[in-house]
Structure 1
């Protein structure tokens, strides 16, 4: 049976999606959420990192929800069509923010947990400043990361990432001359990157494999010097640290200058935890067949998971294949199912008991 979905819950999601919030421009959306939270009795503020933060409940154990406010660039007009809500962020990841808040409001009278809700700034950037700020100031008992998993699945892990720019500068020469031109050197370097991935993978695939993607390329010449540039992204499996991979890349071709962006290590959480068990039970209670997912992207789980070492997973409605696309949309039936699952999780006895959270001053 399809669970209930109230119009005010749809309005919350639609209102969030109507506010453009690409990375670095989250202020209006943060203020919208803080106003929503305060009107419903949460202690709420925008913190020094630009995160929207809300707290409620007095339980001995604390669950911290960490979603993100920022979206990919590009505005998609919000509309309801064929049972779906279209809008930038509907899947990645305002749907998760809205579903968690809707669920918390449904069960607030029965809460046995202290809840901390954080809609972080800058998750779509390499530095993820909102999550880094949170990481150093909280120690929850459980952490739920708001990212699309589909209503009947939870995500246990994300690959790490290492992004780089490869630049080649060479004296300009005739195409019939003996010197290899900058564009050719750049292409040769990309081939060596692919060969390195194959060597390190040793036949492994999926979450266990190192993956490389060529994200952009350009070349130019002023008649005296020619230059070629490649933007390369690498997705790292558990056990392969960015520093070790960086060292191997730097040794591939001395003709190529490499510049690296901030990197993240892979992270995989355990599935035999009270939080995971609460989700499995809640999904089954809604008629779903629960599944565990491992993602090739990165998320704020990569930042807070290794630091906190508490039961953690990622959950949210929507199909992540729609992330960043011009057709991003969330079926409202999926949204309703996720709210119902989250409401059951927040009142599950596995998550109540002794414990707490420590908030440290910077």
Structure 2
């Protein structure tokens, strides 16, 4: 039987130490596929604040509470350590940290790391913080790897929600690389160029999406689309054009279904390479994780703001596999993600650590109580 009165004490992590950890990690570049140095910084920081740490086969960093029992139920705090490209000079001005990854998502990751060290856990419960690699690329290899390796009792995803927000769902995603290649023709002739043909295809896709979105008013419930890149070339013999398109998917359509529909609207002149399939995932507002975070926000003086995000996160990767209570939380304004002005308020970062530590303790006791029943 689990002894709920037996508790594991944790290392006290001051706000100053927490800020130093975040600044060190933001200073360490970790563009997707180049995260090794940052993962090492994460591991060292975990050891310094009293957590065990390791690096897995996929390159993810793991920080684990010490004195774990082999049969312990585990709460996984899953963040990501990679960033999109973009060199932003790292600096602190008027209590604000500027730098690539400060919001997306090193702020949330470091908040989880420090909260795990602060939290006091009942016997039989452990916490694991994962610094996943590759979240910003279509394959999301870090999350896909841990999805097959871990079986947590609950999961918090580290993404910016604002210190008083809790994110319940993210849209799915799919990408298409569409291309046209044909013999060159005279521009005065009646035949369309490769670029003409490619954009005619794109207009057909947009018309189809407009039609299927008509019955869905909320943006979160619509299929969104955008052209991410486009190129064309003509050497006098071969005329070719290519574009990469991204799609954000709601709950009511799977990536495979959208792919099939788009292929049905595509002529033989256009070649499609479809990749990055990931379905939408939405958690229940009343599940244990969302409830623990929301109650903690109230305890720390604010009213929780539930959110559904039109972006995609690793929640969509692990949610369908783990089938456990799950929600996303973290400091920062997500509208600053990927921007040249990315920054995070350090007072908000400190508040989020308090919220997370309380939420982890609440969640841990709820899980421990369920073991005894």
Q: 1:355 to 1:229 in 2, by over 3 A?
A: farther
Deviation of 1:78 (Å): 1.4
Deviation of 1:353 (Å): 2.8
Deviation of 1:239 (Å): 2.0
Contact 1:62 1:355 in 2 (8 A): no
Q: Alpha carbon RMSD of aligned pairs, Å?
A: 1.9
2:246 counterpart residue number: 233
Deviation of 1:351 (Å): 4.3
Match of 1:39 among 48, 71, 75: 48
Deviation of 1:354 (Å): 4.5
Q: 1:5 to 1:321 in 2, by over 3 A?
A: farther
Deviation of 1:225 (Å): 1.7
Asked if residue 11 in structure 1 is aligned to residue 27 in structure 2, the reply is: no
Contact 2:173 2:279 in 1 (8 A): yes
2:309 counterpart residue number: 295
Q: Deviations over 1:165-213 (max 9, x none)?
A: 1111122122221111111111111111111111111231311100110
Match of 1:319 among 309, 333, 351: 333
SS in 2 for 1:140: coil
Asked if residue 330 in structure 1 is aligned to residue 344 in structure 2, the reply is: yes
Contact 1:30 1:69 in 2 (8 A): yes
Match of 1:104 among 116, 126, 130: 116
Match of 1:169 among 178, 181, 187: 181
* Distance in 1 between residues matched to 2:81 and 2:339, nearest whole Å: 17
Asked if residue 118 in structure 1 is aligned to residue 134 in structure 2, the reply is: no
Contact 2:121 2:361 in 1 (8 A): no
Contact 1:141 1:355 in 2 (8 A): no
Contact 1:158 1:299 in 2 (8 A): yes
- Of stretches 187-196 and 13-22 in structure 1, the one that deviates more from structure 2 is 187-196
Q: Deviations over 1:333-361 (max 9, x none)?
A: 211211111121122143433559xxxxx
1:359 counterpart residue number: none
Mapping of residues 323-362 of structure 1, within 5 Å: 323-348=337-362, 349-355=365-371
Asked if residue 50 in structure 1 is aligned to residue 59 in structure 2, the reply is: yes
Contact 2:55 2:62 in 1 (8 A): yes
* Distance in 2 between residues matched to 1:276 and 1:112, nearest whole Å: 22
SS in 2 for 1:38: helix
* Distance in 2 between residues matched to 1:104 and 1:140, nearest whole Å: 15
Match of 1:131 among 143, 149, 154: 143
Unpaired stretches in structure 1, ≥5 consecutive residues: 357-362
Q: Deviations over 1:33-56 (max 9, x none)?
A: 112222333221111110111211
What is the TM-score of this pair, normalised by structure 1?
Answer: 0.93
1:24 counterpart residue number: 33
* Distance in 2 between residues matched to 1:261 and 1:170, nearest whole Å: 24
Deviation of 1:90 (Å): 0.5
Contact 2:50 2:117 in 1 (8 A): no
Mapping of residues 148-297 of structure 1, within 5 Å: 148-204=160-216, 205-254=218-267, 255-297=269-311
Deviation of 1:5 (Å): 6.6
Q: 1:298 to 1:192 in 2, by over 3 A?
A: same
Contact 1:172 1:224 in 2 (8 A): yes
1:84 counterpart residue number: 96
* Distance in 2 between residues matched to 1:347 and 1:139, nearest whole Å: 19
Q: 1:174 to 1:355 in 2, by over 3 A?
A: farther
1:360 counterpart residue number: none
Unpaired stretches in structure 2, ≥5 consecutive residues: 1-12
Q: Deviations over 1:17-43 (max 9, x none)?
A: 010001111111111111222233322
* Distance in 1 between residues matched to 2:29 and 2:60, nearest whole Å: 15
* Distance in 2 between residues matched to 1:351 and 1:316, nearest whole Å: 22
Deviation of 1:237 (Å): 0.6
